[in-house]
Chain A
């Protein structure tokens, strides 16, 4: 459908005002909100994610596209709620205790939302207890932990332990990321996945949610 295609292409180039107008038009034409979301917004973000993963585009383009997506998503939110459409999964995300850096974490959040996942953003300086309790209280399938400093990476191991302690380790996937983090570290602490960039993180997350 060319209107939804136009939404996708305009989102990819960050034309937020155009995306907003086209979404309004799609709503007026009685296209179901879920379809506008999936074929318009999410399909656009999916292209953005792939290009980002392949280093064809970088942070500014992603931010500019995410901004356009948010403008469109805002219009759809009440309609999706009305129609009882649920997100494909729920994730809680945060930067670990001791660390205040969040640009990377915010990018992951945008990519996760770009896959249609609902994200609970815990912000920065988040304790292991908060990560796990939030996952329990909010019914999250995945906990995503971000760290920029080697001095704060250790908290990720504590998140794994806390999930074990509260008996939910088998119900919640734990994903980790950030500049000093590696796949080896992920295996060492018993987390489920390490991803090197926001787009890959979203790809892995959506697979986990489909499987859950």
Chain B
């Protein structure tokens, strides 16, 4: 079987392949904003060996010198036999987001020396390496979930899995975890050592796809998942899921927040693709999922990125102008979730954007990075879903916002989330601004906690017993709230 040798700053790996696949797929270059049309040039690489001849788009994109130096667009190049490719994963490698603070725990770790904990998000896969001896998180790594090549969202992936792509979806995520493990180990100064334990969390569909299980029961009413995990697969522990809609990632996030250890009513929102919300009230954990979309992870945003070096992560209106900061102060390469949120709020305060979401014209943030009308529409959909979820869930349980003692905010948008901006655009109720605690990627933190304190396994099972899933699909109250909360104004 032919081999593709992939070299990045992180080292070299090899991937086997069959047939004549696209270089972008084998090298798992998921950053193809133009959808593989050879237009955005973001998949630029250096390739040599048995590869197809350059296409028109590539001849237009590169000059003579570049072409003879092996410059290619991965989305346009097919592999015909053994080949080599090199590119700077620079942005993806210098990922910093992921883990929030790990809360206090009693060290009763799983057996072994090293554990790898993973949160398989629909849009972003995040991973950390944990020393089970010193009980510390050594390093983290993350990348876009390569299953996005097959389908962007959960429903799409379920459909594809039911139509013959189950094997491919499984391989894609296994390879992603392997890649991220190598990367994180390198960052921690470790050689390719054996990993003793894995803790892999994610929403229910993600775990089905990882284990190659048929997602048939997730695909139609009554949506009774035939497997809710809480199981070991060789040396990998997959935590319990609440239901078909609300998965192990939320169980882990709730664990990390410690919210169910307290008696007061509290709310947790996961600002990720599926927008899950959990309300803890009088000993019951009410959960729902809102299908927010990936806007707050940089997905569906023209210049959107994950929380990487150079991502615009805050925007303020100062003296009538927009001022943007970037992660690590580098030259802006895109906008991440917290930046998108801030930009929307800042544009509202400058009257360049109105409450219906109409942006007068595309706005320059800095270093040639713009926010566009289409981006604002994506934000409206995401924040409308989350706000409507919060409102509907609280109304369903009979809890007024005023009575909520704490609001935990989880998600891979970065450790930094401007609560004022979230209130201004109408994503969280103003009453909760002062009571909000930003957790960062709490699902990953929770997964790490499972490896660091084994007591968390029975604890997570108890959580599931106390949970009730509230389906929002088919709820006319949710539909009305979604329509109302499309507006960019305080809730």
Spell out A's residues near B (CB within 8 Å): 13-15, 58-61, 63-64, 66-67, 95, 97-103, 106, 121, 123-125, 148-152, 179-180
Q: Does B405 reach chain A (CB closer than 8 Å)?
A: no
Q: In the complex, how many angstroms separate the beta carbon of B245 from the nearest chain A beta carbon?
A: 9
B479 surroundings in chain A (CB, below 8 A): 102-103, 106
Contact A149 B155 (CB under 8 A): yes
**Cα-based distance from A64 to B380 in the complex (angstroms):** 10
Chain B contact surface mostly: helix
Q: Does B482 reach chain A (CB closer than 8 Å)?
A: yes
A63 surroundings in chain B (CB, below 8 A): 384, 482-483, 486
Contact B221 A97 (CB under 8 A): yes
**Cα-based distance from A124 to B486 in the complex (angstroms):** 22
Contact A150 B163 (CB under 8 A): yes
Q: Does B487 reach chain A (CB closer than 8 Å)?
A: yes
Contact B358 A13 (CB under 8 A): yes
> Assuming the A-B contacts A61-B357, A124-B473, are A99 and B486 also in contact, with contact meaning beta carbons closer than 8 angstroms in the complex?
no
Closest 4 CB pairs of A and B: A100-B473, A124-B474, A14-B356, A98-B220
Contact B483 A102 (CB under 8 A): no
Give the number of A-B contacts (CB < 8 Å): 78
Spell out B's residues near A (CB within 8 Å): 155, 158-159, 162-163, 216, 219-221, 223, 356-358, 374, 377, 380-381, 384, 471, 473-474, 476, 479, 482-484, 486-487
Contact A125 B474 (CB under 8 A): yes
Q: List 24 A-B contacts (CB under 8 A).
A: A13-B356, A60-B357, A60-B377, A60-B384, A61-B356, A61-B377, A64-B487, A67-B486, A97-B221, A98-B220, A99-B220, A100-B221, A100-B223, A100-B473, A100-B474, A101-B473, A106-B479, A106-B483, A121-B476, A125-B221, A149-B158, A150-B159, A151-B220, A152-B220
> Assuming the A-B contacts A60-B377, A60-B381, are A149 and B483 also in contact, with contact meaning beta carbons closer than 8 angstroms in the complex?
no
B216 surroundings in chain A (CB, below 8 A): 151
> Assuming the A-B contacts A13-B356, A14-B356, are A58 and B377 also in contact, with contact meaning beta carbons closer than 8 angstroms in the complex?
yes
Contact B357 A150 (CB under 8 A): no
Q: In the complex, how many angstroms separate the beta carbon of B317 from the nearest chain A beta carbon?
A: 23
Contact B219 A151 (CB under 8 A): yes
Q: In the complex, how many angstroms separate the beta carbon of B289 from the nearest chain A beta carbon?
A: 11
Q: In the complex, how many angstroms separate the beta carbon of A107 from the nearest chain B beta carbon?
A: 10
Nearest CB in chain A to that of B487: its residue: A64
Which residue from A67, A95, A150 sits with its C-beta under 8 Å from B474?
A: A95
**Cα-based distance from A64 to B155 in the complex (angstroms):** 26
Q: In the complex, how many angstroms separate the beta carbon of A18 from the nearest chain B beta carbon?
A: 11
A125 surroundings in chain B (CB, below 8 A): 221, 474
Contact A98 B221 (CB under 8 A): yes
**Cα-based distance from A103 to B486 in the complex (angstroms):** 13
